[in-house]
Chains A and B, each alone.
Chain A
Amino acid sequence: MSESVVLDNVELALGAKTFRFNCAIKPGTITAVTGSSGSGKSTLLNLIAGFETAYSGRILIGGRDVTLRHPSERPVSLVFQDNNLFAHLDLFTNVGLGIHPALKLSGENRQAVSDALSWVGLDGLEKRLPGTLSGGERQRVAFARALVRRKPVLLLDEPFAALDPGLRQSMAQLLLDMHGQTGNTVLIVTHDPNEVRRLADKAIFIDRETILLHAPVDEFVRRDDLPSLAQFLEG
C-alpha cells in the first residue's frame, strides 16, 4: 500500500512569495522535509494534501493527476503538530471518523478502531476525551487514525515538535513500526536533524521557496557545500 508522489513543475504564489517545486518521491520511502522557517515546508505538504492549489504544473499521486482534486479525494492521511483530535469527541469517534466521515461503521470497522487504539498503546480508552490525555498520547491517537485510514501516503507536519525530547524518540519508533506494517509513503516535516537521521530514507531541503536538495539521508548529512544546509544540520 504505497504510491509515488510527484510534483512536476508546480508553481504557487502566496503573498509576495512564489514557490516552485519539482520532485519525485519513491513509493514506500520515508522522506524528511527540512528547511528554515517560512521556506515552504508546510506549503509543500499543503500542496500534496490539497489545501493549496498549484497555479501551474501537476501533482501526481500513484501516477494519478490530483492537481485540482479536493483534499477529501486525495489518498493521504494527515498528522499535524497539534489539534489532530476534535477535543469534544471521544477517542473512538476521532479514530472512527478516519474510516467513515459520517461514522457509519460496521462491526469489523469498530474492531479495527479498537485494535488501532491498542496498537498505539491506548487500549480500552475508546470513551476518553482527548483533553484527559497527554500530548504524546494524543499524537498516538492521530497515528491510530492514520493507521485505520489505510491511505498510501502519510503527511506529517512537525508531529513531534510539541513533545519532550525523550518522548520524540519513542514516537519516532512508533512511526517506524507503523511504516513497517503499512509500507506507505511518508513525508515528515521536521526541524530536528536527529529526527532526519533516525527516521528518514531520503531528505529534502527547501530554501527560498524551492527544493535545494533531495538526496538519500547518508549523502544529505554529509553535504558541506551548501551553507544553509550546513547551518540546519548543526542545529
Chain B
Amino acid sequence: MLTAAQRKWSLGWGFAAFGGIAFFVGTAIAALLLWDSGATGGQFFTPYTWQILRFTLWQATLSTILSILFGLPVALALARRPKFPGRIWIVRLMALPMGLPVLIGALGLIGIWGRQGIVNATLLTLGVEQPVSIYGLSGILIAHVFFNMPLAARLLLAALERLPAEYWLLSSSLGMKPLSVFRFVEGPATLRVLPGVAGLIFMLCATSFTLVLVLGGGPAATTLEVAIYQSLRFDFDPPRAIALSFLQIGITAIILAVISTLPKPDDDENLHGRASRRFDGRTAGARSWDTVIILFATAFLVLPLASIVASGIQADLWRLFKSPAFHQAALTSFAIAVAAGLLSVVSSVAIVVAQEAIGDMKRPGAGARAFAATLGGMGSLVLLVPPVVLGTGWFLTLRSLGDVNRFAPVLIVIINALMALPFVMRVLSPAMATHRRRTARLSASLGLSGISKLTRIDLPPLAKPLLTALSFAMALSLGDLGAVALFGSSELTTLPWLVYSRLSSYRTNDADGLALLLGLFCLLLTMLGTAGRERHQQDE
C-alpha cells in the first residue's frame, strides 16, 4: 500500500540503521580479531580463564535455580490468593527490580545483608556465629535472586492466570487436594513456561556485570564480564581481555541458541489483577503457608528498597545536591541518557519502518525477507555482544588512534542505545503494527504521505508509545554502569560512576545519598513512561 517513494524512504531508514549498528559492532569485533592474535591464542584456556568461565556458569546456574525455587511458591501463593490484601501492589513491586538501576539495588542489599545490616544483626542475636556475607558468591546469589526471583514469580504467575477460570471451578468441584491441583493443573501450566523462564534468568545472570563488580571481585568470585573489565582497566592485558571477550560471546551465543528453542514466556501485564476466583487452599495450613511466603517475598524485596531510602535520607542530601561533582555527573548522565534514548528510539523506528515496508511488498524476494529478519536480529545484537565486549573492541580501536577519552561520551551513548534497543523494540514494534493496521488502508486511499501524514496521522497516536520507549531507554542509560566502567574518568563521570567511585573509596554515606537521588530520577522517568503506556493500553 506504500507508494514507491515511501518504500524507498522506509528501506533507506532501515539500511541506515543496519549500516550503523553493523559498523559499530563489526568494528569492535574486528578490533578484537585483528589484535596481535598470536598473543591471544595462548590466553584462551589458561587456568585463569577456566576458573572465570567455571565461576560464571556456576553462579548463573545457582542463581537461576534459587530464583525459580523461590519464585515458584510465590507465584503459586499469589495465584491462589486473588484477594490477598494489597495483592496488586505486591505484583507491581515484583516489577520494580527490573527497572531499578542495578547499582542502587546492590547498595540496598548491602544495607540489609551487609555486616551492619538487620539480617546479620538478627542472626547474631539468634546466636548464629557465621553471618551471611553480601560479598563473594553468597552475595552475588542473594543479589541475583533479588533481581530475578520477582521476574520468575511474575512470569509464572502470568502462566497461572492465563488458565481458564473453569479449571479452578472444576478442580475444586472434583475435590482435588493441593497436591492434586499442583499435579494436574498448576504444575503442567508452570512447567510449560519454566524452561523459557530459566533460560532468560540464566542469560541475565551469566552476563551480569554491575552486581558482580560491586559484590564479587577477586579471582574466586569474578565473571567473564568483570574479568574483561579488570583485564583492561587494571592489568592492561589486552590479549587476555580479548580471549575473555570471545569466551563471553561464545557463551552468550550458546545460551541464546538454546533459549530460541524454548517456548517464550510472556508477561502480559493486562492479566495481573484479573485473577480467577479460587476455591482450593481454604485450610488454615494452606492459608498460613501462602501468607508467610507472600510476606517473606515482599519483605525480601521491600527491605533493600527501604534501606536505600533510609540511608539515602541520612546522607547530607542537600550538600550532595549542591556539590559541583553531582552537578557535573548529573549533567553528563542526562546528556548521555537523552542522546542514547533518542538514538535508540530513532534506530528502532527505522528498523520497524523498514520491516513494515518489506512486509508490505507483494512478493518480497528472498533478499528482502532475509534483510527483514536481519533487521530484527540487529535489535537484539547487544545480547550476543555484551556492552563490555563492545567497549573493549572500541577501546582497543581508539587507543591505536590516540585519545580514548575524547570519544568516550559518544561510545557510551551508542552502547547505551544498543542496550536499550531490545526493550524499545518491544514497546514500539507492536504499537506501530497496531497503528498501521488501523490507518494504512485509509492513508493510502486518501493519498496521504510525507510530513502531513507524519504529523497528522502517525505522530499523535504514536506519541505515547514513543515517549514510553524513550523514557525506558533513558532510565536504562541513566542507571547503567557497564558502558561507563571502561571509559569513566575524572573528566567523564556519570551518576552511577560517581556512586561507584564513592563506594570504592568507602564514602558510603555519599554513595547512599547519590544512589537515592539517582533512584528518584529513574523512578520518575519510569513513571512517566508507564503512565503513557497505561493510557495507551486503555485506548486499545
Residues of A in contact with B (beta carbons under 8 Å apart): 49-51, 70-74, 76-78, 80, 82-84, 86, 88-89, 93, 97-98, 101-103
Whether A101 touches B176, Cβ cut-off 8 Å, given contacts A84-B170, A86-B167, A89-B184, is yes
The answer to the question of B446 belonging to the interface, with a C-beta cut-off of 8 Å to chain A, is no
The 9 closest A-B pairs by CB, nearest first: A72-B175, A83-B164, A83-B166, A101-B176, A101-B175, A88-B188, A102-B180, A71-B173, A71-B172
Could you tell me if B279 and A71 are in contact, using CB atoms closer than 8 angstroms? Answer: yes
**What are 28 inter-chain pairs, A to B, with CB distance below 8 A?**
A49-B173, A51-B169, A51-B279, A70-B279, A70-B282, A71-B172, A72-B172, A72-B176, A76-B173, A78-B169, A78-B170, A80-B166, A80-B169, A82-B166, A83-B164, A83-B165, A83-B166, A83-B167, A86-B184, A88-B188, A88-B192, A89-B184, A97-B174, A97-B184, A98-B174, A101-B171, A102-B176, A103-B184
Contact call A84/B277, Cβ cutoff below 8 A: no
Instruction: Flag if B174 contacts A84 (CB, 8 Å).
Output: no
Q: Mark B336-376, 1 if CB is under 8 A from A, else 0.
A: 00000000000000000000000000000000000000000
Residue pair B277, A51 in contact (C-beta under 8 Å): yes
CB-contact partner of B188 in A70, A74, A83, A89, under 8 A: A89
17 new A-B contacts, CB < 8 A, other than A51-B279, A70-B172, A89-B188, are A49-B173, A71-B173, A73-B175, A76-B173, A78-B170, A78-B173, A80-B169, A82-B164, A83-B166, A84-B170, A86-B170, A86-B185, A93-B184, A97-B176, A97-B184, A101-B171, A102-B180
A101 near B174 (CB under 8 angstroms)? yes
Measured CA separation A80–B277 after assembly (Å): 16
Chain A nearest Cβ from B172, distance in angstroms:
5
B498 to chain A, nearest CB (A): 52
| B34 at the binding interface (Cβ < 8 Å) | no
Chain A interface, DSSP helix/strand/loop, else mixed: loop
* Cβ of B177 under 8 Å from chain A: yes
Cβ contacts under 8 Å, A103 to chain B: 180, 184
Least distance between A194 CB and chain B CB atoms (Å): 26
Question: Which residue from chain B places its CB closest to the CB of A72 in the assembled complex?
Answer: B175
Q: Complex: how many Å from CA A93 to CA B183?
A: 12
Residues in B neighbouring A73, C-beta threshold 8 A: 175
Which has the most chain A C-beta neighbours within 10 Å: B172, B173, B282?
Answer: B173
Across-interface contacts of B179 in A (CB, < 8 A): 102
CB distance from B279 to the nearest CB of A (A): 6
Report Cα–Cα, A88/B174, bound state, in Å. 17
Contact with A along B174-216 (1 / 0, CB 8 A): 1111011001110011001000000000000000000000000
CB closest residue in chain B, given A99: B174
With a cutoff of 8 Å between Cβ atoms, the chain A residues found around residue B177 in the complex are 101-102
Could you say which of A71, A78, A98 has the most chain B C-beta atoms within 10 Å of its C-beta?
Answer: A71
> What residues on A are CB-neighbors of B166 within 8 Å?
80, 82-84
Nearest chain B CB to A5 CB, angstrom units: 16
Residues of A within 8 A of B172 (CB): 70-72
- Across the interface, which residues of A come within 8 angstroms of B277, CB to CB? 51
Residues on B with beta carbons closer than 8 Å to the beta carbon of A98: 174
Chain B, 143-178, contact with A by CB distance < 8 Å: what is the 0/1 string? 000000000000000000000111101111111110
CB distance from A72 to the nearest CB of B (A): 3
Contacts of B183 in A (CB 8 A): 102
CB neighbours of B174 from chain A (8 A):
72, 97-98, 101
Within the complex, what minimum Cβ distance (angstroms) separates A135 from chain B? Answer: 14
**Nearest neighbor of A89 in chain B, beta-carbon distance:** B184
Q: Which residues of A contact B180 (CB under 8 A)?
A: 101-103
B161 to chain A, nearest CB (A): 14
Contacts of A50 in B (CB 8 A): 173, 279
- Whole-angstrom distance between the alpha carbons of A77 and B188 in the complex? 24
Q: How far is the CB of A96 from chain B (nearest CB, A)?
A: 10
Neighbouring B residues of A88 by C-beta, 8 Å: 188-189, 192
> B496-532 toward A: CB 8 Å interface, digit per residue (1/0)?
0000000000000000000000000000000000000
A47 to chain B, nearest CB (A): 13
B residues 259-278 in Cβ contact with A at 8 Å: 277
- CB <8 Å contact, B169 and A71: yes
What distance in Å separates the Cβ of B463 from its nearest Cβ neighbour in chain A? 37
Chain A hits for B279, CB < 8 A: 50-51, 70-71
Which of B174, B184, B192 counts the most A-chain CB atoms under 10 A from its CB? B174
CA distance A131 to B432 in the complex (A): 33
List residues of chain A with CB within 8 A of the CB of B184: 86, 89, 93, 97, 103
